[in-house]
Structure 1
Amino acid sequence: MTTSAPTDVELAELSRHSVELILRLQDPSGAYPASPTFSAYQGYSWFRDGAFIADAVSAYGEEGSASRFHDWCSGILTARSGRIREVVDAAAAGSPVPDERMLGTRFTFDGAEGSDEWWDFQLDGYGTWLWAVVEHAQRHELGIDRWLPAIELAVDYLASSWERPCFDWWEEHAEHVHVSTLGCIAAGLRAAQAVVDPVRADACADAVARIRALIARNGVVSGHLAKWLGSTDVDASLAALVAPLRVYPADGAVGASTIAALDEQLTVDGGVHRYLLDTFFGGGQWPLLSCFLGLAYADAGDTARARELLEWAASTVTADGDLPEQVPHHLLFPDRRQEWIDRWGTVATPLLWSHAMFVRLQVRLEVGR
């Protein structure tokens, strides 16, 4: 990229390169690696990150790649049908299984949990996957039957357990119920409602209604969504609930207030922080979060602001054409950066999720298309 404002051609070229990178790094199993070289992520694929990656390449027109990822997720779920039934039955009996018996958030490319410790109990990825697989099937007019058994398992799992505290998008604060997690679950169950049997459809509708009521009571502060139930803070992951998940429409009161709060509190010169107390690698700015906020602005009709956020994300690309997880242009806690470099090495680069969200916003804005 040049130091001046990038042209439509340059932005479209970065998007094309991003898709090519994602397709080249996709494992034969269908899994999308989070980052091919970063020590803590290497060899793993996340349901959450992967679902957003699949949605981006699907929107770009790469139906086959997205379908292979959904096949991989489907295989993981169906292989754990007995474990999911254990979770569902225990919840129905009023004796929920312990957190360590819940499904993991990331898996090796061959579908295993992996042997190293991780902050694994996260529910949002299964909701995000439900949303992404149904969206993909509708976008490309595909039959849903190949994924329906896994969809049913994910619906049963989430409908039984959505109220449980768990780790958030950032693998933190397992003691809380996070609003972004609830929103991802609501988006997934709402999407699944259209493709499952009537009994499950009713369970989806009931859970979505209860989630929205709970957020309205305890997850909205000063008119905008909050980081977790009872919190007064915001988190950049909340932008996803406005777009692309559209749980809270951008032209609605909560959606509009959330966009404004995220821009005011977490955004500096187009770069978006995760949250104000973030110390991970010093608390830098994340290109993928600028793109999520850009998608929300695009839904709100402010394509100029969305374009600014896309351009900021483009400005973080390396000389090799890679988009990082975060950049240190404006650190919240600069004295905390080195400890993470000492622990895990330099910031994950490339991060496929960053490339995917750039693609998703570029497609949404039809820049260069």
Structure 2
Amino acid sequence: MSLVAHSLDVIKRLQSPTGAYPASPTFSAYRGYSWLRDGAFIAEGVSRHGDVAGADAFHAWCARTVGDRAGQVDSLVSRAARGEAVPVAEMLPTRFTLDGVDGDDDWWDFQLDGYGTWLWALREHSARHGRAVPEVEKGVRATVRYLTAFWHLPCYDWWEEHVEHRHVATLGAIHAGLRAAAGLGVLSAAEEASAAEAVAGIAALVEREGLTGDGSGPPRLRKWLGGDAVDASLLACVEPFGLYPAAHPVGAATVAEVERVLARDGGVHRYLADTFYGGGRWVLLTGFLGWNHARASRPAEARRCLDWMAAQATPDGDLPEQVSDLLLAPGRRQEWLDRWGPVATPLLWSHGMYLILADELGVHA
């Protein structure tokens, strides 16, 4: 069985009857939970390969899950409008149980990027198949109200770290999501206006505070506002989110710097100070690099990324979250093994990213 076929099978087999995609079925810290971020890219992968029903079910689950919290969103927005500081602990979570309820475990929960990523993926799926996913209006509108009210706040990043910062990858996801939501045809005039205002505000903020460089060439995106670090999540700000597209000098400079600093022997690290499981190379991040190469008309480089991803599969064809052969902090690996056990395998997001890059390159089952 090809890895495309196996990836589709793994995702379809593990999808919950509720429509949620579990992050990883056996990994202790992820088991029983679905992330909007992970799931959105998983849904994008299967949508590209014809599993319309599976992607529909995930998007419907997202819409129900967020729509069920519309009252909570309106309360949060009203409190903020009155000038009240809303505690991070009262914001919407970043992950939900497969039944769409809040989990009981402590987590680094205030993350906004997943909400934007879901809106982006919903629009991509709907446009690709020329049909609207039924009954998403309440969830979409609640998500837009939430993002337009709170996009400017610091929150945790993709890696559930640094809640004190405003992360450029998060801003890129929200920017893409609010642009996408405007094309779904469900927003009120006031919500559309608020979304447009937020989109313009994000673009201006990133241009003002989210770029860095030494003056010898085009600037590139920063990991967070005010810092100079490089993070592989910034790849998504170029492709697919288009905050600065692949053809834009800033987009090209960002991809080039991520590759220069974080790519090693085919795989891509998250960031140089990473100590999670020793700081290995992530399969899904190599997928993002390949996606950017494909969109920048570098198919050979994109194909090398796809081949490296496939080479990390277990004998059963399952893709892990990261691989541990070239670690940034090898002395920190054991503490995570002791805490959570072996690296998450399979990670459905890794399989979703493999499907996306395979489709970009015309590789199908």
Q: TM-score range by the shorter chain?
A: over 0.9
> What does residue range 191-206 of structure 1 map to in structure 2 within 5 Å?
191-194=180-183, 195=185, 196-206=187-197
* Residue number among 46, 58, 61 corresponding to 1:72 in the alignment: 61
* Residue number among 84, 93, 96 corresponding to 2:85 in the alignment: 96
TM-superposition CA deviations, 1:44-74 (whole Å, max 9, x none): 0001100111111111111100010011111
> What does residue range 242-261 of structure 1 map to in structure 2 within 5 Å?
242-261=238-257
> What does residue range 152-171 of structure 1 map to in structure 2 within 5 Å?
152-171=141-160
Distance in 1 of aligned mates of 2:364 and 2:25: 29
Q: Which residue of 1 aligns with 2:51?
A: 62
Distance in 2 of aligned mates of 1:339 and 1:224: 34
Taking structure 1 as the reference length, the TM-score comes to 0.95
Alpha-carbon contact 1:240-1:292 (below 8 Å) kept: yes
2:169 equivalent to 1:180 = yes
Number of residue pairs the alignment of both structures matches: 358
2:203 equivalent to 1:207 = no
Alpha-carbon contact 2:60-2:134 (below 8 Å) kept: no
Moved over 4 A (4+): none
Q: Could you say what secondary structure the match of 1:335 adopts? A: helix
Q: Could you say what secondary structure the match of 2:323 adopts? A: coil
Q: Could you say what secondary structure the match of 2:322 adopts? A: coil
Q: Which residue of 1 aligns with 2:216?
A: none
Structure 2, unpaired ranges of 5+ = 214-218
Query: Shift in Å at residue 368 of structure 1?
Result: 5.1
Q: Could you say what secondary structure the match of 2:155 adopts? A: coil
Query: Shift in Å at residue 87 of structure 1?
Result: 1.2
Instruction: For 1:21, give the aligned amino acid.
Output: V
Instruction: For 2:39, give the aligned amino acid.
Output: G
Q: Could you say what secondary structure the match of 1:295 adopts? A: helix
2:323 equivalent to 1:332 = no
Distance in 1 of aligned mates of 2:306 and 2:349: 14
Q: Could you say what secondary structure the match of 1:37 adopts? A: coil
Distance in 1 of aligned mates of 2:100 and 2:364: 37
* Residue number among 250, 260, 267 corresponding to 1:264 in the alignment: 260
Query: Shift in Å at residue 246 of structure 1?
Result: 2.1
Query: Shift in Å at residue 42 of structure 1?
Result: 0.4
Alpha-carbon contact 2:42-2:348 (below 8 Å) kept: yes
Distance in 2 of aligned mates of 1:75 and 1:245: 24
2:203 equivalent to 1:216 = no
2:118 equivalent to 1:129 = yes
Query: Shift in Å at residue 362 of structure 1?
Result: 0.2
Q: Which residue of 1 aligns with 2:285?
A: 289
Distance in 2 of aligned mates of 1:107 and 1:253: 38
Q: Which residue of 2 aligns with 1:5?
A: none
Distance in 2 of aligned mates of 1:124 and 1:366: 29
Q: Would the alpha carbon gap of residues 145 and 26 (structure 1) be closer, same or farther in structure 2, given more than 3 Å must change?
A: closer
Query: Shift in Å at residue 234 of structure 1?
Result: 1.0
Structure 1, unpaired ranges of 5+ = 1-9
RMSD: 1.1
Distance in 1 of aligned mates of 2:341 and 2:296: 39
Query: Shift in Å at residue 144 of structure 1?
Result: 5.0
TM-superposition CA deviations, 1:164-207 (whole Å, max 9, x none): 11110000010100000000000000101122232211111110
Alpha-carbon contact 1:87-1:96 (below 8 Å) kept: no
> What does residue range 218-233 of structure 1 map to in structure 2 within 5 Å?
218-222=209-213, 223-233=219-229
2:276 equivalent to 1:280 = yes
Taking structure 2 as the reference length, the TM-score comes to 0.96
Q: Could you say what secondary structure the match of 1:107 adopts? A: strand
Instruction: For 1:165, give the aligned amino acid.
Output: P
2:299 equivalent to 1:299 = no
